[in-house]
Amino acid sequence: MTHKIILDTDPGIDDAMAIFFAFQHPEIDVLGLTTVFGNVPVTMAARNAVTLCDIAGQDIPVTQGVGMPWVGPESTYAHFVHGDDGFGNTFPKASEKPLDPRSSAQFIIDMARQYPGEITLVAIGPLGNLALALRLEPDLPKLVKGVSIMGGAAFVPGNVTPVAEANIWNDAHAAAIVFAADWKLTMFGLDVTLQTPFSPTFMDKLADKNSTLGGFVKDASQFYMDFYSQNRDDKVCFFHDAFPLAHLIHPELFTVTEGQVRVGTGELDRGQTVVAPAGTTASPLWTEAQTINVATKVEHDKLEQLFIDAYAL
């Protein structure tokens, strides 16, 4: 079975690893990359996405989308995690290919109308593009197969504040809109991604299997790994963004919990994804909230082998 997806992204080192995995796996059909601010400014995100397509030999639409949070000032970005170029200061030659002229939100709507009920929206950055698409096309939930999000922290601490994960924190009001929509949504947050570290040996294997794509990920990840290895005895990094893609094709690797979700938008709870597991409360504040699935565990060894095998194709 082939899964049609639109990959909404802010490349980003782990975005690059995820995008290449999606390109490589025969059961994933990437209709386009829609870009958003997050790890880097949106103009850089769009150009990085086109560059990744060039490196992978993929000729698909790339659009530029939302460049600011739904509410509040411009982001400060995550160059301290991903480098000045978003690729660990490796500075690959930027593609000069033009972007698709549509906004990311409009591209999402156009593709959903073209392939009703067939597309999974895979969002691995802040959620401004999806929120805007919902505002422009209120029937969007009826037009897509589902939504898979890398973001949030349901039952574990955040990584930006004690309660918030970066993608959700970066555009909390947009996230509140997306999580409240009436569609099938699965969240892959820090509950599962931070429990699954990848060692330098993993990057070596990707490079051995695919010198172009795996070699790029290995080189870019050195800066990223240094960030994640601070205050640890071992060297590790975390490829958060590939998890929702792996779940598409091998859901049996994951344990998920169903529950009602609310997203905080206040000063102290900005970006908090509070999930009440199904049946744990009778409060209308929760029983009337949207139900989602939250990934909480994954079979680490099988997940790692899945990524390696895909890069070898």
Answer yes or no: 10 catalytic. yes
Q: CA 187: distance to chain centroid?
A: 10
Q: In this structure, are strands 185-188 and 28-35 parallel, antiparallel, or unpaired?
A: unpaired
Q: Residues 10, 85, 100, 241: which is the catalytic one?
A: 10
Structure tokens at 62: 């790339």
Q: In this structure, are strands 62-64 and 254-263 parallel, antiparallel, or unpaired?
A: unpaired
Q: Residues 3, 25, 173, 240: which is the catalytic one?
A: 240
Q: What angle do CA 61, 176, 295 make, to 5 degrees?
A: 75
Q: So which residues are the catalytic ones?
A: 10, 240
